[in-house]
Structure 1
Amino acid sequence: MSLRPRRRLDGSAQAHATTRDADPGVAGAALALSGRRCALHPDVDQLELSQRLLYQPARLAELVALGTPPPRWLEILRREAAPQDLPSPGVLRGQAETCRRLDIRVSPFGGADYPAALGQLPDPPPLLYYRGRLPGEGEPLLAIVGSRRASGQGLEMARRLGRAAAAAGRPVVSGLARGIDQAAQRGSLEQGPSWGVLGCGLDRVYPPEAGALAEAVVAAGGLLSEFPPGAPPLPFHFPRRNRLIAALGVALVVVEAGSRSGALHTARESQALGRELGAVPASPLNPSAGGSNRLLAEGCHLLLGPEDLPVLWGESAGPGHANGETWTPARCAREGVLDAERLSARSGWLITETLERLADWEREGAVERLGGGRFRVTDAAAPAATIDGGPRVD
């Protein structure tokens, strides 16, 4: 079950409607921010407009709802008092050059490639900066967050969950933070892409030691931010980052979140958007897990391991099952799962248990081991052949 939302976004049945739905001519909104349809890197006007609106989400909603022609937005905003921290023209030109130099691209609010999930927020980013690529329309993501000071068991569970999620076609979106975020994203990269959302400009990485991971994320998926180049990782940026992580995930998993943590804040944002919410249990004596244990007490999904993830997207879960079907040699052949690591990720079995099952199948003559964890299914493998049992959670 998902938790009942603690707050409504608009207090109406249209709470999850996108802000852009208020303007029937919203196609022009993209042009107001991009200046031209195929712009990849932002220009100075685009950067100025986005930063005038960045901390005034209500103003963006007003302009759209009133039907103000998008080409006039910057003209109107320039008549108003400029935000105190609006960069000078010289700084804006420097930001534009940085975007070109580092290949930082933009997706404007209302644009064709703007992630639809972000439109469900009451304050969607007016301009989304990204490196790599944006998640596709048919590319659901799973948000995984947790403590920066996680236990070794928590880190290992986050990695397994990330790997299994990516193998199931729901790669991880998280914040590249120390601890659970990084572990989950590394696991996702073992089987597919991952996306990271930063609380600073994309010309830097925070925390700094995540640089190599950030480049791996860019190569396979993408880094996202609503903050322009040069924006530092200020404390108040992270709650804003968290709401993007919550919106981008079709569901959210919490591993070891403290009672007053950013991870718990992200879970509440996800809850408010009506997303399915799951948490991994931990000892009540673990101070880094008070928040995640509280979520379980409130009724979110209990996750004991990767095999429980399917409940978050409405599928049955069970030992060695996916979509209700047991993993067999015949299924491995049909789905091209022919190495131990991938079978472990797809089934939810621990790698040691996967190797034990492969040994059983080999004794039955259903598979032939090829070395390096690889195997092939023999012609003798019957479609109904299976080994019952389930994964252990250490």
Structure 2
Amino acid sequence: MAVSRVSHGSVFRVGTSLSLLALLAACSEPLDLDMRGLMNGGFNTADAARAAAAPRPEPDNRGVISYPNYQVAVAQRGDTLASLAGRVGLPADELARYNGVQTGDALRAGEIIALPRRVSEPSPATGAVTTGPIRPPSDVDITTLASDAIDRSSPTPAPDRAAPQTGTEPIRHQVKRGETAFTISRLYNVSVRSLAEWNGLDSSFSLREGQFLLIPVASQAPPQREDTPPPPGTGSPTPQPPSSSQPLPEVTPAPAAAATTAAAAAKPVANVGNQTAASASNAAMAFPVQGNIIREYSKGRNDGIDIGASVGTSVKAAASGQVAAITRNTDGINILVIRHPDNLLTVYTHVDGISVAKGDAVSRGQSIAKVADFEPARVHFEVRKGFDSVDPMDYLR
């Protein structure tokens, strides 16, 4: 009887292959199917395959996605380069040369075509939410959020519109000879699947030399509350204690009469560090909470005042009016807006437990919310003439 001879090396290779197949069959995690170099300790893209990528922004009706530094167009089903060029308003041959394709080439639905120069910005007229390029979330301020919310809650609301698109501008990569979807995903530590979804790649992940790809950006982690303690060892440095050998300098108080005259002539400003006093009965508005003013008004830098108060303290309406909007910013901080006569708005943030709803009539001194659990606990209070911020102290004294 003939006996087959199998070397130990062959048995090891067969066993290793079977073990690898069994491991792949049992694995429930998403896999990067590019296994090249894995057995020799090569770069492992499993972490990239598991990383969550944000969804690609929605284009306008022309297919245009606009960022501050470049624009791209997203092909629709049945598009050729020529039909896409006609839709965005660029010469087909210029678009073809820039992307390394022919004017008559068919495009896959969702395929990204880079624009060699800017076309008109997306706008409501082209099916976009707002006019202009996609901006970072930090560029969308309380004014924008409040105005959108007020428009939606107005008795005669503006046409329905979603919140402005925000996001990080992705890297735009041009494919070089010899590159594959796998090598590019390893280069930027993203999954091949998300690279394909963002760029409309086919099932084989095929690329062409000169093609532009958008590199997916990571999805944003849940916003971290301001009261989350910092990592160990990263706290504020311990302040230097006063020296016992150098007493504090003596301060000579100004004469009472002079102080009174100066105070009368001065414009009312936030007395930072001091306790708020009850507003006079003839003041236009009342303080929403009583506490220390920890930050004063500075137009363009701090469009209101911050009043320190204990968590859970009742927040009261500064004046009678109607609740115009209740929304929140990208950090998950509640924003409550009340509309008053004479085109005035008051804005309250860092609040929780809101006890009123949009459209409710509120009276001066009525409880509308509670101080939220932030560090430091406070209420941020703004007064706006239209949407232009003004110094709240002009109304509180």
Q: TM-score, normalised by structure 1?
A: 0.22
Q: If you compute each CA radius of gyration, which structure gives the higher value, 1 or 2? A: 2
Greater helix share, 1 or 2? 1
TM-score normalized with structure 2 length: 0.22
